[in-house]
Amino acid sequence: MGLYRFLYLNSLGNNVHEVEESVLLRDLIFVFQGIDGKMIKFGAESGTCTIAPSFNISHSTRGLVSRLTELGWLYKKINQYVQKTSKEASAGLVEQSFCSALQHELVDYFRLIAILESHIANDADATGSKGLTLKRLLVWTQDSLQRLRLMSVLVECCQNLQGGALVSMVHDYTQHGDPLIQQFIHHMLERISAPFYVMLQRWIYEGELDDPRTEFFIAVNSDVEEEDMWQSKYFIREEMLPAFIGMPLAKKILSIGKSLSFLRHKCDDSDWILQNQGVEKSLKYGDIAELEGSIDAAYVGTSQRLLHLLSTKFKLIEHLTAIKRYILLGQGDFIQYLMESLGTNLSQPANTLFRHNLTGTLETAIRSSNAQYDDPDILRRLDVRLLEISPGDSGWDVFSLDYHVDSPVNTILTPVAMHQYLKMFNFLWRLKRVEHALSSAWRRQTTSARAIRPILELVPELHHCRIVCGEMIHFVYQLQYYILFEVLECSWDELLKAIENNNTTTDLDSLIEAHSKYLRDVTSKGLLAASHDVNMMPRLLELLATILDYKVAQDNLYNYALAEIERRERLAQTADRRTRHGQWGLTDQDETLDRIPDEQFEELVPGLLRTLNEYSMQFKRELSQLLITLSADGDSDLRFLSFRLDFNEFYLGSLKGAMVGGGAISSSSAAATAAVTD
């Protein structure tokens, strides 16, 4: 602060009086209190004082008076701020505490004025006394002048600031190099930050946000639904974050209060909060390391309590395990029985399904498998869900299992997460359906092989069917193994390790992140993530649909073959009966016994074989395109899956041969194939 200007007005007449020093001292006492004296008055311009024109003072005295009047102006400025802020209805608690700290410091200033006033009165009574002088007054007021200057600077900097922003602004002055100034600011901050620490203490020990003037750096969004309380209800306002609280520490503070609020409102654990309020420490401005230690202790205790309740009382791990076993098809015997029981119904149009019938089949599948030994609370959450029906959908397209969760587990298993599980179920259910269909086709091939062997005309075609069916089984089993074991089981193992690792899962946020990572890994490596080639999943679904179409065409061929065997058996029995009666066994009107009738061999059989051949070629083309897409993906696991599906380059090799031999192949596919096979 520079020296204040002192204006002197010279008299034009002879009424100029020399001013005695004692008179100036009495006037300065009034000026120190922001009041005009008889001779010295505050000017209209800030920082100026005037002296009555009828009085005259020496040049040296002018300098002393000018320096001393700075006290009055500083006091007046500080007092105006205090009075103005105290009357404002919108003033925050920290602002009021700042005014209280200023007033507390002014008490010492008033005490000094009282002492000076008593010295002036004693000097007036003492004859010839040389007690208090302007120079001595200047020396005596130096400490007060320095404090008033600091308070004036704080008043200027803290205009229009409140709460944590005000505390942070004052805290910045603790970095001053003068230890006396540091000590003064530290002393001021203990008073200024008292309401802030009261709010902090209630938040980290009770989970209550007591902030009527929005001064705390934790804020609440009252529009958020209770179901989304953990994720979105509370947040950090960085503009109210004090400089001595870093963002990592602020996030811990946020987590502590959220955890306590969550324990009270979602977990019904208010008793534990009340029991642990007695161990709280009184927080105040001072040692930052001590503050961090208190926050860390509260963070660890609260987070461990919340995680313990989720794991024990609310059975989080059991719910996750149940989703893995039923929604992600980990319970093999249950899924197999369910598919066999529902197969006939799900093959019907989707609009003919009734949910209560499906629910009854679900309950039967539970009782008929090892699922019956699960916790009844887990089993009652398992339900049937029918997706939105589109024209032409069958029951397979709309059937889904569902798993119901409630508070507080739905904070981790959110609706978004359950939707991802539903997508995984739909894909795995379709894959399981294809595997079930191929198993059925293989069983029919095995059981019918001896019976249809006499149909020599179909032996090559039936042999080719077994080869193609073997290729399809290899593809589906490898894909299923990859998803169920390398994706689901490995990701599940990582999730359990993360949950059990106290260094990784320290609070509910880290638990949610561990589960989110599990879902990301499952959807990404399970071919469902949007980060992959947009053509990957459509190609895979088309490939599965082609396998089902091939299975239907193969069933038609086997149905015809078995019908032909029955026809031949009937003819043989007729011929044997006629022979026993002394007649010709076969007549010209009878069909040929040992070969397919000509009209069927020329019309019906070629159509069946042509359909099978078309689906077989389509399967190989679609699989080759899928292998190219997998090989070009940036995920090493998917590239390895491509290798496992085509370990001897049977499909990509044939594509490369077709490209070299002039076969019809697109330029993009040819380039991708060359990149993969080179």
Mean pLDDT check: name the lowest of 34-38, 112-116, 299-303. 34-38
Q: Which helix (H) or strand (E) holds 610?
A: helix 604-632
Instruction: Check if the beta carbon of residue 565 is closer than 8 Å to that of residue 452.
Output: yes
pLDDT of residue 8: 35
Region of 597 on the Ramachandran plot (φ > 0 left; ψ -120 to 50 alpha; else beta): beta
pLDDT of residue 51: 66
Nearest to 493 by CA among 343, 324, 329: 324
Sequence-distant (≥ 6) Cβ neighbours of residue 96 within 8 angstroms: 85, 86, 195
Assess whether pLDDT exceeds 50 at residue 673.
no
CA–CA distances in Å: residue 563 to residues 559, 567, 600, 612, 650: 6, 6, 12, 18, 36
Assess whether pLDDT exceeds 60 at residue 660.
no
Which is it for the CA torsion 271, 272, 273, 276, positive or negative?
positive
Average pLDDT over residues 278-301: 82
| C-alpha span between 435 and 447 (Å, rounded) | 18
Mean pLDDT check: name the lowest of 140-149, 515-524, 595-604. 595-604
Read off the pLDDT band of 69 (50, 70, 90): confident
| C-alpha span between 399 and 402 (Å, rounded) | 10
| C-alpha span between 628 and 525 (Å, rounded) | 17
- At 339, list the tokens: 């598919």
pLDDT of residue 593: 52
Assess whether pLDDT exceeds 50 at residue 676.
no
Average pLDDT over residues 445-473: 86
Nearest to 330 by CA among 397, 403, 380: 403
Residue 381, phi then psi, degrees to nearest 5: -85, -15
pLDDT of residue 304: 93
Nearest to 619 by CA among 643, 651, 662, 649: 651
pLDDT of residue 7: 36
Sequence-distant (≥ 6) Cβ neighbours of residue 473 within 8 angstroms: 438, 442
Of 9-23, 61-75, 494-508, highest mean pLDDT? 494-508
Sequence-distant (≥ 6) Cβ neighbours of residue 98 within 8 angstroms: 85, 154, 158, 166, 170, 192
528-584 confidence digits (pLDDT tens): 876 666 778 888 999 999 999 999 999 988 888 887 777 777 776 776 776 776 666
Pairing of strands 49-51, 6-7: parallel
pLDDT of residue 412: 94
pLDDT of residue 286: 80
| C-alpha span between 169 and 162 (Å, rounded) | 10
Q: Is the pTM of this model over 0.85?
A: no
Q: Which residue has the higher pLDDT, 674 or 128?
A: 128
Average pLDDT over residues 179-188: 88
Average pLDDT over residues 156-161: 89
pLDDT of residue 344: 85
Which is it for the CA torsion 417, 423, 426, 431, positive or negative?
negative
pLDDT of residue 678: 36
Give a three-class secondary structure readout of 269-322.
CHHHHHHHHHHCCCCCCCCHHHHHHHHHHHHHHHHHHHHHHHHCCCCHHHHHHH
pLDDT of residue 277: 66
As a whole-number percent, the residues of the chain with pLDDT over 70 amount to: 84
Nearest to 102 by CA among 129, 77, 72: 77
Mean pLDDT check: name the lowest of 44-58, 103-117, 198-212. 44-58
- Range list of H helices, 384-486: 395-398, 415-452, 459-481
416-434 confidence digits (pLDDT tens): 999 999 999 999 999 999 9
| C-alpha span between 532 and 524 (Å, rounded) | 8
- At 163, list the tokens: 């709460």
Q: What is the mean pLDDT of the chain?
A: 83
> Omega of the bond prior to 408 within 30 degrees of 0, cis?
yes
Read off the pLDDT band of 601 (50, 70, 90): low
Assess whether pLDDT exceeds 80 at residue 199.
yes
Instruction: Check if the beta carbon of residue 432 is closer than 8 Å to that of residue 542.
Output: no
Distance of CA 611 to the CA centre of its chain: 51
626-651 confidence digits (pLDDT tens): 888 888 877 788 888 888 888 888 88
Read off the pLDDT band of 311 (50, 70, 90): very high
Mean pLDDT check: name the lowest of 334-348, 380-394, 664-678. 664-678
pLDDT of residue 581: 67
Q: Which residue has the higher pLDDT, 176 or 404?
A: 404
Assess whether pLDDT exceeds 60 at residue 326.
yes
| C-alpha span between 395 and 169 (Å, rounded) | 67
Assess whether pLDDT exceeds 90 at residue 602.
no
pLDDT of residue 671: 36
- At 351, list the tokens: 């609009």
Mean pLDDT check: name the lowest of 237-251, 312-326, 600-614. 600-614
Assess whether pLDDT exceeds 90 at residue 405.
yes
Read off the pLDDT band of 479 (50, 70, 90): very high
As a whole-number percent, the residues of the chain with pLDDT over 90 amount to: 39
Instruction: Check if the beta carbon of residue 215 is closer than 8 Å to that of residue 162.
Output: yes
